[in-house]
Amino acid sequence: MAIHPPALYLGFIVFSVPFAFAMGGLIKGKMDNEWVMTTRRWTLMAWYFLSAGLILGGQLAYEELGWGGFWAWDPVENAAFMPWLTGTAFLHSVMIQEKRNMLKICNVVLIILTFGLTIVSTFPTRSGIINSVHAFTQSEIGPAFLIFLALILVIGFSLLFKRIQMLESEHKIESVLCRENAFLAQNVLLVGIAFTVLLGTTFPLLAEAVRGTKLSIQAPFFNTIIAQMGYMLLLLMGIGTLIAWRKSSWEGLLRNFKNPLILATAGTVFLAWFLSDRNLLWSVHTIFWLTIFVTATIVLELFKAVQAKSRQTESNFLKRLFYVISRNPRRYGGLLIHFGVILMFLGFAGTFFKVERNMTLEFGVPEQIGEYSLKFQQVEEFKVGNATHRAAIVEVYDKDGNLLEVMKPAKSFYPTQPQPLTEVAILRSFLEDLYLIFSSENGGEQGSVTLRVFINPLIGWSWMALPVFTLGVGLSMSYRPKSLVAHETILRERYLAAQATSS
Amino acid sequence: MWTSWKFWTAWFSILGLIALLAFGFTTDPKKVPSPLIGNPAPDFEISALNGAAKMRLSELKGKPVLLNYWASWCQECKVEAHVLEAFHKKYGLATEQIKVVGIAIQDTPDKAQAFAQRFGKSYFLGLDDSNGNIALDYGIYGVPESFFIDPEGIIFYKHIGGVTAELLEKQFKPFL
């Protein structure tokens, strides 16, 4: 988790490669698709590190900050999220340029925005203009950052407007129902979310500039608006998987989507029945439906490809699966990443039905929460490295009375730190985490403690997204466009020939 | 191109964003608004750290009060300790123009007293109860925090973090 800042940083700086290629192309007036192909791997890498940084940051917040959640819409979290959103849009949008020679202007705009936003996200932590846990330095570097940002945007857009005629598309979208439109819609949504985040993050500044009042925009603003757009994105993720390029018919769509639709609906109804005692919100049912739908499209797509293969050869299923994936690693890598996104969404869904309670535990008296029974034993002090931990020793039993674990939520005192830090205790399982925060120690004969207790369902699934992303990006990166490989071979031969003649 | 709305939208958005961020340099994010400003300071009674003497905030009406929240484990409180003591010597002890009151929160009596001795504190110091009720009334979320109360008992300023002599002088100037 200590690599959360370097991962984000890598993500930020690697986006400078596609940006530089785009700018180079604009300056030279060479705006074919080469820059897109050449920088594909770099873009993937930047996207991967940014995603890893965000996930690890969420994990860090969850385990270290001790408030039971992993994302607080803090200005600096938002700032790192914005380039991720536009970067994701860029990553998809360049595929349209590669395949259909469209959306060229859009792609240049997206990469300028993405790179610009990486600077925006470094800006608040360095300039001290926004109050946040991440605003760790108030250095003199702020104005320099702002000038750099202004230069990027002004020069980037000036060049774009200068060359705009070269970037006009040769093709037009042929039908409403086509993959191009699904991609376009996801661009609009991702940029829309990025804009919402930007608005929410800078609105306090705007309010202060216009009305002179201080205000802060909190999670409900972001959650209400962005959740809806997130659901639509998820839906598009499913549709984009199975819809055809250029032209689709309603009949074709219905044929492709019949099974996923049936599976999603049946699965959601089953989960609603199975979890009926949890009083789930509509948002949870929506996420369940969408995640099953998208998973079904992915699995069916893979299944169909394997079946098509099986008609040709008679090897076993795993061999055929391996063959299918290795023939098109880019596509299946992408679908695997989509599956990672589904895991993240399920983690979010869990936050809608988490249990959160303040519990005062008397010595030796078991208290019930969810499926767990908590029994306070004593307060213990021990050394961990430099710090002194003052911990509540709490035994956790399952509903059959078996001891699951002895948990030690604590406050840690460092000699150099002014305030005690919270050391949460987490009991992880596949479906949920039991999460304890030591609030206070109360008097009384044998003492009692007050704990803040959370049961966080599905949260671990969000973390599982990272290894899935790693695998998906790895697969996807193993692909190189043939034209690019050929082009590089020519260049290498030319270079060697030049070397030979000069010597 | 000069007549294209896309062209102008792009430039206006860029300029707007840069201008907004530039404006950020003129603001102080640490200046957090408190709903208490302009309202009567919540009253409380507290015992002195070094004895049985009790003090009620409302009894201090008629004089401006500097109410400082601190803790012995807090690093920044150590930094501002001398500033507060010097301010008290200048305006509290000598001329009795301003009352300075310090309340330790999330602390133990021994540690708080040791702190007071180490920094030669001569103004009134008290310790909040173990539930932190006084700190709750004032919405404290970290130490040090200081509240500036006018002679009518109305809070007119709040400062988060260590105070400086200049800040204290500037804020209390109208009452000196």
The 10s digit of each residue's pLDDT in A236-271 is 999 988 887 777 778 888 888 899 999 999 999 999
Is the CB of B74 less than 8 angstroms away from the CB of A418?
yes
- Residue B66 pairs with which residues in a beta bridge? B100, B148
Is the CB of A418 less than 8 angstroms away from the CB of B73?
yes
B8/A contact by beta carbon, under 8 A:
no
Number of structural domains in chain B? 1
For B30, the closest of A131, A164, A440 (CB atoms) is A131
Chain B hits for A157, CB-CB cut-off 8 Å, are 10-11, 14
For B33, the closest of A164, A214, A443 (CB atoms) is A214
The Cα B104–Cα B92 span in angstroms is 20
Q: What is the pLDDT of residue A447?
A: 78
Q: What is the mean pLDDT of chain A?
A: 87
Among the listed ranges A121-130, A342-351, A388-397, B9-18, which one has the minimum average pLDDT value?
A: A121-130
Is the CB of A129 less than 8 angstroms away from the CB of B74?
no
Q: What is the pLDDT of residue A133?
A: 54
User: For residue range A366-397, what is the model confidence (pLDDT) as tens digits?
Assistant: 999 988 999 999 888 888 888 889 899 999 99
Contacts for A230 with CB less than 8 Å, ≥ 6 apart? A193, A345, A348
- DSSP state at residue A277: G
Residue in A355, A359, A370 with CA at minimum distance from that of residue A394: A359
| Nearest chain B residue to A214, by CA | B33
A477: helix, strand or coil = helix
Chain A hits for B22, CB-CB cut-off 8 Å, are 146
Q: What is the pLDDT of residue B29?
A: 62
Contacts for B79 with CB less than 8 Å, ≥ 6 apart? B162
Give the Cβ contact number of residue A445 at 10 Å: 7
User: In this structure, what token pair is assigned to residue A211?
Assistant: 């009305």
Cα A292 to Cα A50, A234, A417, A441: the distances in Å are 26, 10, 47, 45
A273: helix, strand or coil = helix
User: In this structure, what token pair is assigned to residue B117?
Assistant: 């001795």
Asked whether residue B22 is domain-assigned, the answer is no
Chain A hits for B30, CB-CB cut-off 8 Å, are 131
User: In this structure, what token pair is assigned to residue B11?
Assistant: 């430039």
* pLDDT of A173 higher than 90: no
* pLDDT of A180 higher than 70: yes
Find tokens 């020939």 and name the residue: A497
Q: Name the pLDDT band for A419 (thresholds 50, 70, 90).
A: low
Between A1 and B99, the more confident residue is: B99
A485/B contact by beta carbon, under 8 A:
no
Mean pLDDT of A66-82: 83
Asked whether residue B24 is domain-assigned, the answer is no
Instruction: Please answer whether residues A39 and A17 qualify as being in contact, where contact means their C-beta atoms are separated by less than 8 angstroms.
Output: yes
Asked whether residue B7 is domain-assigned, the answer is no
Asked whether residue B15 is domain-assigned, the answer is no
Q: What is the pLDDT of residue B79?
A: 85
Residue B40 sits in a domain whose CATH number is 3.40.30.10
- Counting residues of chain A whose pLDDT is more than 90, the rounded percentage is 45
Mean pLDDT of A168-197: 86
Q: Name the pLDDT band for A139 (thresholds 50, 70, 90).
A: low
Mean pLDDT of B107-130: 88
Q: What is the pLDDT of residue A407?
A: 95
Is the CB of A443 less than 8 angstroms away from the CB of B130?
yes
Cα B42 to Cα A44, A46, B69, B133, B159: the distances in Å are 56, 53, 14, 11, 17
Asked whether residue B11 is domain-assigned, the answer is no
Q: What is the pLDDT of residue B26?
A: 78
Asked whether residue B38 is domain-assigned, the answer is yes
For B14, the closest of A128, A153, A418 (CB atoms) is A153
Asked whether residue B20 is domain-assigned, the answer is no
Asked whether residue B79 is domain-assigned, the answer is yes
Q: What is the pLDDT of residue A456?
A: 93
Closest approach of B20 to chain A, Cα-based (Å):
7
Single-letter amino acid, residue A69: G
Highest mean pLDDT among A309-313, B23-27, B126-130, B167-171: B167-171
Q: What is the pLDDT of residue B31?
A: 63
Cα A261 to Cα A282, A290, A339, A437: the distances in Å are 18, 9, 17, 42
Q: What is the pLDDT of residue A134?
A: 54
* pLDDT of A96 higher than 60: yes
Between B51 and A469, the more confident residue is: A469
DSSP string, B13-79: HHHHHHHHHHHHTTS-TT----TTTTSBPPP-EEEBTTSS-EEEGGGGTTS-EEEEEE-TT-HHHHH
User: For residue range A206-235, what is the model confidence (pLDDT) as tens digits?
Assistant: 888 888 777 777 788 888 889 999 999 999
Contacts for A494 with CB less than 8 Å, ≥ 6 apart? none
In b/e form, how buried is each residue of A474-488, taking b as 16+ CB within 10 angstroms?
A: ebbbebebeebeeee
Q: What is the pLDDT of residue A411?
A: 87
CA B120 to chain CA centroid, Å, is 20
Residues in chain A, total: 503
Chain B hits for A206, CB-CB cut-off 8 Å, are 20
Q: Which of residues 54-113 of A touch B (CB under 8 A)?
A: none
- Most distant CA atoms of chain B, gap in Å: 80
Is the CB of B27 less than 8 angstroms away from the CB of A123?
no
Chain A hits for B130, CB-CB cut-off 8 Å, are 440, 442-443
Q: Which of residues 19-48 of B touch A (CB under 8 A)?
A: 20-25, 27, 29-33
Contacts for A162 with CB less than 8 Å, ≥ 6 apart? A26
Chain B hits for A214, CB-CB cut-off 8 Å, are 31-33
Q: What is the ipTM of this complex?
A: 0.74
Instruction: Please answer whether residues A493 and A364 qualify as being in contact, where contact means their C-beta atoms are separated by less than 8 angstroms.
Output: no
Structural domain for B115, as ranges: 30-175
* pLDDT of A138 higher than 60: no
